[in-house]
């Protein structure tokens, strides 16, 4: 069964600092990979997705992620954190039957002034 692991349930950065949220997946076949952001009491918004095209994927709000097959990783980065980036972030993998997604546990990002 496919699994997704997000290292670090909480990440705290200063405004303007680099954001790095880690995601590793387990799959014998490179899956579709997604990063979603969730603000309190809201649904999930897609930040970016990997679908076997370019390994470096650029998303909205200045986020990007790099697919590394050798490391089975899909870490999310942003060069400079903004206060509005404070939210919970979910990594997800698809490519299994019926379009199901497997979600990681989520990482809460806190941005300090």
Task: Restricting to residues 38-57, name those near other proteins by CB under 8 A.
Answer: 41-46, 49, 51
In sequence order, the β-bridge partners of residue 64 are: 58, 77
Binding mask 14-33 for other proteins (x = CB under 8 A): -----------------xx-
**Region from 21-29, 34-42, 58-66, 77-85 binding other proteins, contact rule CB under 8 A:** 34-42
Q: How deeply is 18 buried, as exposed, middle or buried, from its count of CB atoms within 10 A (0-12, 13-18, 19+)?
A: exposed
Q: Are the CB atoms for 107 and 85 separated by under 8 Å?
A: no
The span from the CA of 46 to the CA of 109, in Å, is: 16
Q: Binding of other proteins at residue 99 (CB under 8 A)?
A: yes
Q: Which residues bind other proteins (CB under 8 A)?
A: 31-32, 34, 36, 41-46, 49, 51, 90, 94-95, 98-101, 103-106
């Amino acid at each position: 069964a496919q699994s997704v692991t997000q290292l670090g349930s909480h990440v705290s950065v200063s405004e303007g600092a680099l954001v790095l949220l880690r995601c590793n997946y387990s799959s014998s076949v490179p899956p579709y990979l997604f990063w979603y952001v969730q603000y309190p009491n809201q649904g999930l918004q897609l930040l970016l997705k990997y679908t076997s095209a370019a390994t470096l994927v650029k998303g909205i709000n200045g986020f990007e992620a790099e697919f590394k097959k050798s490391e089975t990783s899909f870490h999310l980065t942003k060069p400079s954190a903004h206060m509005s980036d404070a939210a919970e972030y979910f990594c997800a993998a698809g490519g299994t039957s019926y379009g199901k997604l497997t979600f990681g546990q989520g990482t809460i990002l806190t941005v300090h002034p």
